[in-house]
Amino acid sequence: MDRTRRDRDRDRDPEGRARNARPRDGLGRPLPYGAPGVERQPEGVVRTPGETLGEAQRLLDAGMPFHAHEVFEDAWKSCAGEREGERELWRGLAQLAVGLTHAARGNTAGGARLLVRGAERIRAFSPVYGIDVGGLVEWARGLAGRLGGRPEDAVDPVAEAPRLRG
């Protein structure tokens, strides 16, 4: 199939950007067109740090770490000016959420790697906005250490949801 046809057949958002319109489950896995799914997180939302943490915690508590990852991704992409130095904190939090996503989907080896990477990224930050940096690092390393690397070792994302604030 030539590129023009492939591009024409892709799902597009209202601005014309390629965006998969298939519904997703709570862990972000694509479902067949027409299947009921969970509402997707809008992209590019600029929130205050408190709003970001509140929305991400709500999603984590609901067993939707993939969607929490998208909230953190918006935060890291919108860091500018006086908040530029926080970019790596938000990226690390996004990695923790997507690590939990992979662990819940059964990709426990990949989930463990992302949890460790996210913990390493955030560990140098002193607590800001009430984020329990030390507790999150401990949680991520502990969960990564419990993951066995096999699909049958998948975890319950609700039971394993971290507390973002102390």
> Does residue 38 sit within a domain?
no
> Does residue 161 sit within a domain?
no
> Does residue 96 sit within a domain?
yes
In the chain, the DSSP E strands lie at: none
Q: Residue 1's pLDDT is what?
A: 43
| Mean pLDDT (whole number) for 125-138 | 95
CATH number at residue 78: 1.10.3450.10
Task: Bin 130: left if φ > 0, else alpha if -120 < ψ < 50, else beta.
Answer: left
Q: Which residues pair with 109 in a beta bridge?
A: none
> Does residue 39 sit within a domain?
no
The 3-state DSSP class for residue 150 equals coil
**Stretch (H or E) spanning 87:** helix 87-105
pLDDT in tens, 65-122: 999 999 999 999 998 777 788 999 999 999 999 999 999 999 999 999 999 999 999 9
Domain count, the chain: 1
Helix, strand, coil percent content, the chain, rounded in steps of 5: 55, 5, 40
pTM: 0.85
pLDDT in tens, 7-18: 446 666 676 666
Mean pLDDT of the chain: 89
Full residue range of the structural domain in which residue 69 is found: 49-153
**The tokens of 82 are what?**
């006086």
> Does residue 42 sit within a domain?
no
> Does residue 109 sit within a domain?
yes
| Mean pLDDT (whole number) for 41-56 | 91
Residue 59, φ and ψ in degrees, nearest 5: -70, -40
